[in-house]
Structure 1
């Protein structure tokens, strides 16, 4: 997916699979709407930095692990720019 779509898509997948609770998503939705970024609620599952949330860009890698009844899932979100690939690899190896 494109950089603009991958974090919201990943966050929505995490939510739909039960990896994050509805109350947290509702909190993200409320705060995002107050900032005029209501469509970012699912991106905020992975976007933790204040700058990422304010600017709507991915700066740092994100790792999210959860279980479904059948699978162990790890979602890795990375900035799309090639200058950040080293950060992605370093984060993955930790």
Structure 2
């Protein structure tokens, strides 16, 4: 895994494309991100559970996503970045 800023939106997009989160939720994130002038953050916010995480652009708590595709069981673990 990478610790770059690109990993959060990439991971969020992967979760969405694999069916781990529904389109309505992504549309909600897209609207909220646009209202804050952060339109490109919609996929990054998939891993952010806390409002403070979205505002600061970092993962504060460990994020855990589990979902399945027709072929795989997937577990995604997100962790906070070191300063």
TM-score (norm 2): 0.85
The 5 A counterparts of 1:18-37 are 18-37=19-38
C-alpha distance in structure 2 between counterparts of 1:20 and 1:40, whole Å: 15
Query: What's 1:41 paired with?
Result: 42
Structure 1 residue 3: Cα displacement: 3.3
C-alpha distance in structure 1 between counterparts of 2:53 and 2:4, whole Å: 13
Q: Any gaps of 5 or more consecutive residues in structure 2?
A: 78-83
Say whether the 8 Å CA contact 2:47–2:59 is kept in structure 1.
no
Per-residue displacement from partner, 1:46-67 (whole Å, max 9, x unpaired)? 1111111011112111000000
Structure possessing the higher radius of gyration over alpha carbons: 1
Per-residue displacement from partner, 1:25-63 (whole Å, max 9, x unpaired)? 001000011011111101111111111101111211100
The structure that is helix-richer by fraction is 1
TM-score (norm 1): 0.76
Q: Any gaps of 5 or more consecutive residues in structure 1?
A: 77-94
Structure 1 residue 4: Cα displacement: 0.9
Q: What's the RMSD between the two structures over aligned residues?
A: 0.9
Query: What's 2:65 paired with?
Result: 64
**Where does structure 1 differ by over 6 angstroms across 4 or more consecutive aligned residues?**
none
